[in-house]
C-alpha cells in the first residue's frame, strides 16, 4: 500500500511538460511538432476561430503598482473602442497596438457580460503555477514554444464570427481579396488582415 501511495504522490507532485491541441479532427491530441505548446484546429479547412478576452478598456488591464503590468504580446478585445489590441514596444515605449486598424467601428457596440471575474484565475501552459505572476486568462509560459492559431481557408468559412475573434487565413481567398497566409481579427462588424512582407 505504501508503494502505491508513494507512486501517486510522486506523480501528483511532479512537474509535467505538455503540449495541447484543441479542435483537431485527428485523435492524436498532439501538436504538429515539439516547437508548439498549443495548436488550435487542423492545418487547413477550419471554420472556427478563438475569441480573445473582452476587457472594459485596454487601460484598465494595465492597472497600477504593485499590480504587474501585462506581458508583452498580450492580446485583448477592448470593448470600449471595439478593437483587437496587443501589447508591444514601439520607440522604447510600451503601448497597446491596434490590430483592428482601418476597420469600421460597429454602430451598436458588442457588450461584454456583466459577470465579475476572479483576477487571479488563469490557465497556465508550460509554467510553474506557484511562481508565475504573469497576468492573463490563458498564459503560455514556455520560453521555446509557440501557439498555432485556428486556420481557415477563408473568413467566409466562419458563419457567425464573434467580436474579438482571431484566425490565420491559409487560403487564397479571404473573402475580401486574394492574399493568403495572414492574420485576421474581427471587431464585431469587419475583419482586419495582417501580413508580413
Strand partners, 146: 36
Is residue 12 domain-resident? no
Is residue 140 domain-resident? yes
Strand partners, 193: 184
Instruction: Show pLDDT as tens, one digit a residue, over the chain (197 residues).
Output: 444 444 444 444 334 445 666 766 665 556 667 777 777 776 666 788 888 888 888 888 876 666 778 888 888 988 888 889 989 998 988 889 998 888 877 766 566 566 677 777 778 888 888 888 887 788 888 888 888 888 888 888 888 998 899 998 887 655 555 557 888 999 888 898 887 65
Is residue 7 domain-resident? no
| SS3 category, 39 | strand
Q: How many other CB atoms are there within 10 angstroms of residue 97's CB atom?
A: 14
Number of domains in the chain: 1
- Quote the CA–CA distance of 88 and 64 in Å, as a whole number: 18
Is residue 98 domain-resident? yes
| SS3 category, 62 | helix
Is residue 21 domain-resident? yes
Is residue 32 domain-resident? yes
Is residue 1 domain-resident? no
- Quote the CA–CA distance of 122 and 83 in Å, as a whole number: 23
Domain with 121 in it: 17-194
Amino acid at each position: 500500500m505504501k508503494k502505491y501511495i508513494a507512486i501517486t504522490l510522486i506523480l501528483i507532485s511532479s512537474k509535467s511538460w505538455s503540449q495541447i491541441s484543441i479542435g483537431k479532427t485527428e485523435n492524436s491530441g498532439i501538436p504538429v511538432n515539439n516547437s508548439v505548446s498549443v495548436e488550435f484546429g487542423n492545418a487547413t479547412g477550419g471554420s472556427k476561430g478563438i475569441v480573445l478576452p473582452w476587457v472594459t478598456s485596454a487601460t484598465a488591464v494595465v492597472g497600477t503598482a504593485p499590480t504587474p503590468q501585462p506581458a508583452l504580446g498580450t492580446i485583448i478585445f477592448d470593448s470600449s473602442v471595439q478593437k483587437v489590441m496587443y501589447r508591444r514596444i514601439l520607440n522604447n515605449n510600451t503601448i497597446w497596438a491596434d490590430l483592428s486598424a482601418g476597420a469600421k467601428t460597429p454602430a451598436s457596440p458588442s457588450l461584454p457580460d456583466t459577470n465579475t471575474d476572479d483576477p487571479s484565475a488563469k490557465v497556465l501552459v508550460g509554467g510553474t503555477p506557484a511562481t508565475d505572476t504573469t497576468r492573463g486568462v490563458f498564459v503560455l509560459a514556455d520560453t521555446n514554444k509557440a501557439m498555432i492559431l485556428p486556420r481557415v481557408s477563408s473568413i467566409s468559412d466562419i458563419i457567425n464570427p464573434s467580436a474579438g475573434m482571431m484566425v490565420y487565413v491559409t487560403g487564397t481567398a479571404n473573402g475580401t481579396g486574394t492574399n493568403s497566409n495572414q492574420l485576421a481579427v474581427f471587431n464585431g462588424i469587419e475583419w482586419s488582415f495582417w501580413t508580413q512582407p
